[in-house]
């Protein structure tokens, strides 16, 4: 395609887009020239829903007029506020409502899950991770390993791409689990890799792990709200995620957690780090000395959640429930497919795409390696109102998000890249 053909094709696709009006329900930042930016950074921080301000102000007003009685009197009582999220989150990750909860932050939730689900034995003590696991995950895993008397060097098994490749092959991950099955206690991987945008085969990996009696957990930070998930049916043991990326909850937003019902409703509750808000809600205010966990994932809660953070998140989750992941996924695949083709045909000598070509193996992200003057190219994108992000040493991540991005945003990005080749 020529650049003019790309512009014409983008115009036609935007005109036919049945989700186009949802862009109007978000605040789109402005460039210095007054035009809307091409915001391709939803994989780092999603844009603000217009309804978020009103939602937060509703709780501010309840606080101002009711004080402590806001826990029980408002239309949305604070004491049960987190329960407003159960159905929305269940739809997003393919779970039962009692298997999901909004609480804490991602790494805090990961530590809570590792406390319960990583209890190594003399022969089985190793953890399988991906080669470019997000740093905070590696820090959390390494510290949990150290707390149990092992070293990361002896306890971490790393799944790596083949020489000359950037992404993992499912067959290689499965072979690695089979080979180390007598030593592995836990598989813990990113569902969508933050660096390459690769969407791994959660179902096959979990099935293989469980065949060997190995637990399987996943970080959904770049997957929740991005790719279709059915955690319950895939038999995943646990998962954690944040809400400030594709789910538009705002910076530092309260995170999410999934625990499969076989663990959440186990006859003998799993060991855990306990907190008051995880105590059985029917006797919580009796203030008894002995911890009795609420059945389901809510039993892993520590403290009552940050209300204003939840209030900012709620409108976005309502949008996801309104649209549905099927429609969002369909548009996502069209956006990345259009983007991928435009880059490959227009700039074959200038860039290399690290993200898998097959739509089913990627989320709404393309990671590109710029072969020459990479930092200058990134600076040119920002200077021309294309908001994306940089990953060392030479990778630019571009994330067209189906709720608010247009094909025209892709054109703007390609135009800038074409001027840099």
| Domain contains 381 | yes
pLDDT for the residue 298? 97
Q: Which of 321, 352, 386 is the last residue of a domain?
A: 321
Given a contact cutoff of 8 angstroms between Cβ atoms, the answer to whether 251 and 223 are in contact is no
pLDDT for the residue 421? 66
Collapsing DSSP to helix, strand or coil, 390 comes out as strand
CATH assignment at residue 407: 3.90.1150.10
Cis peptide before 189 (omega within 30 of 0): no
Angle of helix 307-323 versus helix 51-66 axis, rounded to 10: 140
| 220 and 78 share one domain | yes
| CA neighbor of 405 nearest in space, from 27, 7, 10, 20 | 20
| 237 and 124 share one domain | yes
Full DSSP string of 56-85 = HHHHHHHHHHHGGGGGTSSSS-GGGGGGGG
| 283 and 359 share one domain | no
- Let me know the angle formed at the C-alpha of 199 by 394 and 170, rounded to the nearest 5 degrees: 105
Q: Which of 321, 340, 374 is the last residue of a domain?
A: 321
CA distance 51 to 157: 44
Q: Which two tokens stand for residue 64?
A: 């101002």
CA distance 4 to 229: 37
pLDDT for the residue 311? 98
Q: Which of 301, 321, 341 is the last residue of a domain?
A: 321
| 93 and 189 share one domain | yes
| Domain contains 52 | no
| First-residue to last-residue Cα distance in the chain | 16
Q: Which residues of 166-177 are buried (b: 16+ CB within 10 A; e: fewer)?
A: bbbeeeebbebb
CA distance 382 to 294: 48
| 331 and 294 share one domain | no
Tell me the residue range of the domain where 412 lies: 3-36+324-420
Given a contact cutoff of 8 angstroms between Cβ atoms, the answer to whether 224 and 106 are in contact is no
Q: What is the dihedral of CA 269, 270, 273, 278, to 10 degrees?
A: -40
Given a contact cutoff of 8 angstroms between Cβ atoms, the answer to whether 243 and 254 are in contact is yes
| Domain contains 378 | yes
| CA neighbor of 158 nearest in space, from 187, 196, 135, 178 | 187
| 195 and 93 share one domain | yes
Q: Which two tokens stand for residue 323?
A: 């649209």
Q: What is the length of the chain?
A: 421
CATH assignment at residue 167: 3.40.640.10
Phi, psi (deg, nearest 5) at residue 128: -90, 125
pLDDT for the residue 22? 98
| Domain contains 209 | yes
| Domain contains 51 | no
| Domain contains 172 | yes
| Domain contains 41 | no
Q: Which two tokens stand for residue 381?
A: 């994108």
Count of structural domains, the chain: 2
| Domain contains 49 | no
pLDDT for the residue 357? 95
pLDDT digits (tens), the chain, 421 positions: 899 999 999 999 999 999 999 999 999 999 999 999 999 999 999 999 999 999 999 999 999 999 999 999 989 999 999 999 999 999 999 999 999 999 999 999 999 999 999 999 889 999 999 998 889 999 999 999 999 999 999 999 999 999 999 999 999 999 999 999 999 999 999 999 999 999 999 999 999 999 999 999 999 999 999 999 999 999 999 999 999 999 999 999 999 999 999 999 999 999 999 999 999 999 999 999 999 999 999 999 999 999 999 999 999 999 999 999 999 999 999 999 999 999 999 999 999 999 999 999 999 999 999 999 999 999 999 999 999 999 999 999 999 999 999 999 999 999 999 988 6
| 160 and 304 share one domain | yes
């Amino acid at each position: 395609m020529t650049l003019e053909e790309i512009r014409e094709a983008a115009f036609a696709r935007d005109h036919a887009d049945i989700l186009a009006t949802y862009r109007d329900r978000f605040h789109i930042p402005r460039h210095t020239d007054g035009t809307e930016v091409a915001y391709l950074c939803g994989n780092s921080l999603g844009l603000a829903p217009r309804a978020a301000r009103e939602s937060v102000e509703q709780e501010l007003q309840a606080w101002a007029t009711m004080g402590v009685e806001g826990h029980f009197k408002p239309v949305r009582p604070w004491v049960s506020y987190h329960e407003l999220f159960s159905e929305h989150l269940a739809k997003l990750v393919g779970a039962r409502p009692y298997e999901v909860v909004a609480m804490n932050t991602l790494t805090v939730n990961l530590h809570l899950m590792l406390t319960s689900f990583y209890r190594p034995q003399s022969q089985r003590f190793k953890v399988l991770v991906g080669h470019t696991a997000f740093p905070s995950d590696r820090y959390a895993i390494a510290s949990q390993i150290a707390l149990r008397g092992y070293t990361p060097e002896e306890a971490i098994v790393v799944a790596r791409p083949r020489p000359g490749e950037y992404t993992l092959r499912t067959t290689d991950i499965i072979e690695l689990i089979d080979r180390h099955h007598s030593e592995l206690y836990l598989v813990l991987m990113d569902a969508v890799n933050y660096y390459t945008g690769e969407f791994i085969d959660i179902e096959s990996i979990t099935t293989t792990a469980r065949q060997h009696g190995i637990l399987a957990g996943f970080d959904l930070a770049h997957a929740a709200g991005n790719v279709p998930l059915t955690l319950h049916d895939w038999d995943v043991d646990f998962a954690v995620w944040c809400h400030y990326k594709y789910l538009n909850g705002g910076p530092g937003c309260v995170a999410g957690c999934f625990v499969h019902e076989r663990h959440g409703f186990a006859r003998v509750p799993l060991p855990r780090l306990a907190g008051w808000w995880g105590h059985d809600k029917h006797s919580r205010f009796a203030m008894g000395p002995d911890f009795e966990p609420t059945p389901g994932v809510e039993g892993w809660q520590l403290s009552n959640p940050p209300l204003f953070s939840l209030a900012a998140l709620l409108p976005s989750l309502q949008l996801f429930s309104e649209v549905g992941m099927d429609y969002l996924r369909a548009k996502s695949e069209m956006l990345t497919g259009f983007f991928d083709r435009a880059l490959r045909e227009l700039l074959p000598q200038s860039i290399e795409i690290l993200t898998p070509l097959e739509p089913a193996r990627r989320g709404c992200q393309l990671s590109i390696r710029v072969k020459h003057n990479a930092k200058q190219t990134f600076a040119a994108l920002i200077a021309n109102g294309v908001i994306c992000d940089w990953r060392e040493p030479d990778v630019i991540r571009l994330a067209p998000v189906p709720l608010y991005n247009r094909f025209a945003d892709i054109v703007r990005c390609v135009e800038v890249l074409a001027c840099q080749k």
